[in-house]
Amino acid sequence: MQAHPKGAAVPPAPLEVLAHCRRTAAVAKLIAHHLFLPSEEKALLCAACLLHHCGTGLLAPESKHRLLADVFGEEPPARLVADPMPGIVRDVLNAYEAPGSGRPIESKLAGILRLADAFDQAMEAQPVDGQEVSEILESLWGGVEAGIWSEAAMHALAESTRPQPRGQAESWNVPVFPQAAVRMLRLMRDPNACVADVVKAASLDPATAGLVMQLGNSALFGSRTRVSTLSQAITRLGFATSQKVVVSAALRPMFGSVKLQEAWPHSLQVADLSEQLACRSRAVDPAEAYLAGLVHDVGRIALLSVPLYDSARLQGLERGGCPPLYAENLLLRTDHAALGGQIAGEWRLPENMVSAIRQHHRPEQVQNPLAHLLYLGEFLSGSEEDLPSIVRLQVSLRGIGMMWDDVGDCRVSALGLWLAAA
């Protein structure tokens, strides 16, 4: 699900409502687990969360059945789908609409639903309000005083999302920034760099040299004669293309974990798109934008060191419909962007790039065109790492001095697709 700029096709409101209902159910499930609710009550709570907008007319019957199937499997319990609104669910939703009403069980479940719903709405408002998760939770204690939800439910939400102490950066098993990439970064910033310098950088690593040779002899740069030396391959590819191939090949091993198998192709896409945006906007050096795109999600490496229990809960929230950034902030009080900024700082990357990596999901918080480029690159790649936000999209477009019509046709290049498949 993506936000859409003015003039672009906007998804129908029901899609946004469905996504909200699923996230509400995922948060309510955390509360229910912490309260050790019986399985029957958990099932009823999830059904109520998924259907709590039925009364608005925004959920069609087939949408209701699909949501229930997401939670209960291919065949939801018959009592929950036998009629347009099962009576047992309607009783909870009636109590949801009127705090303090209903039998004790209905009132209890309705309070949890209200709390989960309020939390998700606060998360949706982050681009405008700027509240961190800890601030959102603190503000929700007011609902206890107002009698909207119970102290037990609020305590369960706070405790079930209290993060475990994290180790220091040295315990994250983050690899050393590759020397080939270090040299290439210098070359990208050196106006006097030449082909011979790129050849030297590529020669630092056999795998990097092999990829350059492979691309030089590929159909993408087709020629009747094969190149047999690095110098010939780099000459054929051209200076700028060779730089991108060398730095990409050098950084690729950092994303070698099975759990990161999707992160590297995504990073290549964002790098490719960010470079195109930089060329069009002239707000950032294209080579810098490309490198930033390659490492913008390096914080995912740190997430590999998250304790198994928290890792399982992160996956549970994501399966329940919460975007990765949403789940990370809720359970860890940080996210892969912030962790990536910390890693980039340890690598002594330029401060402008460190800031962009740290804020690439929150571009409204920084006056940094590179952060705005990365946000737009994420958007154009079809990423669903965070809640969609028209506000952030507009901030990012203004940050690079462009309109949606100027960037909406950006697509991953043939080179980007080749590197992702290599």
Per-residue pLDDT reduced to its tens digit, 238-297: 888 988 998 999 899 999 888 898 999 999 999 999 999 999 999 999 989 999 999 999
> Where do the domains of the chain lie, and which CATH numbers do they carry?
13-160 (1.10.3210.10), 179-421 (1.10.3210.10)
Which pLDDT value is given to residue 170?
63
Q: If pLDDT is split at 50, 70 and 90, which confidence band does 7 have? A: very low
Per-residue pLDDT reduced to its tens digit, 292-316: 999 999 999 999 988 888 999 999 9
Q: CA 332 to CA 265: how far, in whole Å?
A: 25
Which pLDDT value is given to residue 181?
81
Per-residue pLDDT reduced to its tens digit, 188-242: 778 888 888 888 888 888 888 999 999 999 988 877 789 999 999 999 998 889 8
Predicted model pTM: 0.86
Which pLDDT value is given to residue 15?
78
> What are the φ/ψ torsions at residue 59 (nearest 5 degrees)?
-110, 115
Q: CA 343 to CA 321: how far, in whole Å?
A: 28
Per-residue pLDDT reduced to its tens digit, 71-121: 555 555 554 544 455 678 889 999 999 988 889 999 999 999 999 999 999
Please report, rounded to a whole number, the percentage of residues in the chain having pLDDT higher than 90: 65
Q: Are 114 and 147 within 8 A, CB to CB?
A: no
Cα–Cα separations (whole angstroms), residue 30 to 115, 160, 183, 336: 12, 7, 47, 21
Q: Are 318 and 324 within 8 A, CB to CB?
A: yes
What value does the mean pLDDT of the chain take?
Answer: 87
Which pLDDT value is given to residue 11?
41
Structure tokens given for 349: 């990357």
